[in-house]
Amino acid sequence: MFKLMVVTDRKRTARPIIEVVRLALEGGADAVQLRERDLSDRELNELAAQMRTITTEAGATLIINQRADVAVAAGADGVHLGWRSLGAQDVRKLVGKRCLIGISCHNALQLRSAEEVGADYALLGPVFHTPSKEGLVKAIGPERLKDLVAAAKIPIIAIGGITTDNAAQALQAGVGGVAVISAILAADDPRAAAQALIRSLGS
């Protein structure tokens, strides 16, 4: 599984998102989730193809958010689903056994559901307070995260408010890795930010 996943949101950075991701990969990120929901099909497919090129060069995993068709077209390594998305079984029929399927979860019930439908991993959070989930989902916290990970039957990637200051807490809870958005996209130096996160994870 991945140690450091970058989840894209081009609105969080003034630079071209492809440049930011390339720098993050140079800094040690080993997975990218392409999550640009407002792009046209053509724009998304073009960006996915670019992401496939740079992730392949870096030996990193490419996951496409929601769009199984885009994942197949780009030759991506997997598809990431929201907990209310198209069923994982249906997506599996589209992408085949080779592709990873991840599901976002916020609690034990959703985590069990992800396991039951055959998800390969769960993105669990928010672990810490994050403005992007303000008023929507309560932060799990590292202690509850530890309990959820201990009971899980699939690998868990922690997300939500992860920074260099608290990434180690998430890792100590037993997760396989962490996923970040602002910690890298909003950084002045995405390469250095990725390197700092990798160091904080003890890698």
Blockwise average pLDDT, block size 10, the chain, 203 residues? 96 96 98 97 98 98 96 97 81 90 95 93 93 70 96 97 95 96 97 97 81
The count of C-alpha atoms lying within 13 angstroms of the C-alpha of 96, restricted to the half-sphere facing its C-beta, is: 7
CATH number for the domain that contains residue 125: 3.20.20.70
Number of domains in the chain: 1
DSSP readout, 162-195?
--TTTHHHHHHTT-SEEEESHHHHT-S-HHHHHH
pLDDT one-digit tens code per residue, 67-95: 999 999 999 999 999 977 768 888 998 89
pTM of the predicted structure, to 2 decimals:
0.95
Residues with catalytic roles: 35, 104, 133
Q: Which amino acid is at 74?
A: A
Domain that holds residue 141: 4-200
